[in-house]
Structure 1
Amino acid sequence: MNSSAQWISEQLNKRDFVTSIEVDGNRLSIVRDSRPTASVGVLSVRDVTAADVLPLVEGVQSVDFVLNKPKTGRFMGDALELLELKNVGWGGLGDAIRALRDFDRLGDYQERELTFVMRGLRQHGRVTSLTLLDDHRIAVVRQGLPDRVVFVGSMYQPTAETVRDAIDRYGDFDLFAATNPNSDPTAEAIEVAADAGIQMLKWRETLAALYR
Structure 2
Amino acid sequence: MNWQVKYALANILETRGVTSAEHVRGDAIRITVRDQPDVVAVISASYMINAGSAAQYHEEFPDMDFLCGYRKECVWEGGAIRYIEENNIGWGSAGTLGSALDSGNVNTATHKDFFFSDRLIRQDRSVTTVIREFDRIYSITLVNGRTLRVGMIREYEPIADHVRTLWDKFGPIDIAWNINPHGNPTRKAVEAGQELGCKVMKWEELKVLLKKG
Q: What's the TM-score bracket when you normalise by the shorter of the two chains?
A: 0.7 to 0.9
Give the partner amino acid of 2:116.
F
Which residue of the partner structure matches residue 38 of structure 2? 37
- Give per-residue Cα distances to partners, 1:82-132, cap 9 Å, x unaligned: 1110111111111111111221x4012233453333333233343221011
Which residue of the partner structure matches residue 199 of structure 1? 199
Which residue of the partner structure matches residue 185 of structure 2? 185
Distance 1:60 1:163, change over 3 A: closer
Give the partner amino acid of 2:67.
V
Cα deviation, residue 133, structure 1: 0.6
Which residue of the partner structure matches residue 135 of structure 1? 135
Which residue of the partner structure matches residue 94 of structure 1? 95
TM-score (norm 2): 0.88
Q: How does 1:1-212 map to 2 (within 5 A)?
A: 1-23=1-23, 24-58=25-59, 61-103=62-104, 105-112=105-112, 114-210=114-210, 211-212=212-213
- In structure 2, distance between residues paired with 1:183 and 1:91: 23
Distance 1:112 1:72, change over 3 A: closer
- In structure 1, distance between residues paired with 2:150 and 2:18: 37
TM-score (norm 1): 0.88
CA contact (8 A) 1:56 1:62 kept: no
Give the partner amino acid of 1:36.
P
CA contact (8 A) 1:47 1:73 kept: yes
Query: Which stretch shows the higher mean deviation, 88-97 or 179-188?
Result: 179-188
Cα deviation, residue 47, structure 1: 1.3
Structure 2 unaligned regions, length at least 5: none
CA-atom RMSD in angstroms: 2.2
CA contact (8 A) 2:4 2:45 kept: yes
CA contact (8 A) 1:57 1:86 kept: no
